């Protein structure tokens, strides 16, 4: 019998979100699996995967707020705005102080226009932006309104700075990192990114892929990692997050 419901996955680094889906299809008797928001290959953390008939609930997850913890490196900017790209610019970060970062952080609270990275999955004329970027083709990227609900600096160890941010759906942390660098007049890029939560779902509740495989191999409480549809709806039905422009 095909399974239905949701699985919270703690995605490891250096694999794609679609690699996660392919692995779950290999492990479980299910034909249809949908994500509620992808993560970059570099990123780790919470992915909510909907299985079987539960994929019809995807619309309820589209505008849930997300919390990320991320590290930026001062002094270098890359074409992808993270450490997987090529360095395109270097600058001196020795004059940047923790006070400069804290002051800059305050300017990002609330609604703001954000330009998505050129290396992103946003579609332009039916193709993702990264397809044009990889060919060196420039396209016009329009800003969109996002909501930075909270942004805090957790650690300052130059050239690395650790942040935690709660943001509306559609916010790109890589673009946020670049904007922080622009404000303090120092180029920067993301070196690590972890999604901690989506709405009321937290990465602490998530399973690793190897956990699911081991559970299936043992055969005990075979699908104890599965969240049923009724539980899903109870967690999200009262959420009314910010949706403008995303």
**Residues belonging to the active site:** 40
User: Which of 95, 42, 92 shows the shortest CA–CA distance to 70?
Assistant: 42
Kindly state the tokens that stand for 97. Answer: 């102080």
In angstroms, the CA 55 to CA 32 distance is 8
d(CA 244, CA 205): 29
Q: Which residue has the tokens 């055969």?
A: 219
Structure-block tokens of residue 168:
């509306």
Q: Is 231 helix (H, G, I), strand (E, B) or coil?
A: helix
H/E element, 33: strand 33-35
| Six token digits for residue 119 | 């290396």
């Amino acid at each position: 019998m095909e399974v239905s419901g949701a699985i919270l996955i703690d995605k490891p680094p250096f694999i794609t979100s679609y690699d996660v889906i392919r692995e779950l299809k290999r492990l479980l008797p299910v034909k249809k699996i949908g994500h509620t928001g992808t993560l970059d290959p570099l990123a780790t953390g919470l992915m909510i995967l909907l299985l079987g008939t539960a994929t019809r609930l995807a619309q309820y997850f589209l505008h849930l707020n997300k919390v990320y913890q991320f590290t930026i490196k001062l002094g270098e900017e890359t074409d992808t705005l993270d450490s997987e790209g090529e360095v395109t610019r270097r600058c001196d970060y020795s004059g940047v102080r923790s006070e400069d970062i804290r002051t800059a952080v305050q300017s990002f609270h609330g609604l703001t226009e954000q330009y998505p990275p050129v290396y992103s999955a946003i579609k332009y004329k039916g193709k993702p932006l990264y397809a044009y970027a990889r060919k060196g083709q420039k396209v016009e990227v329009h800003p969109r309104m996002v909501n930075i609900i909270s942004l805090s600096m957790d650690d300052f160890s130059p050239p690395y700075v650790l942040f935690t941010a709660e943001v509306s759906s559609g916010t790109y942390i890589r673009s946020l990192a670049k904007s922080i660098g622009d404000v303090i007049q120092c180029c920067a890029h993301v070196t690590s990114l972890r999604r901690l939560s989506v709405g009321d779902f937290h990465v602490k509740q998530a399973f690793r892929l190897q956990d699911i495989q081991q559970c299936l191999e043992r055969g005990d409480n075979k699908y104890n990692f599965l969240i049923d549809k009724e539980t899903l709806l109870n967690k999200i039905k009262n959420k009314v997050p910010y949706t403008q422009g995303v």
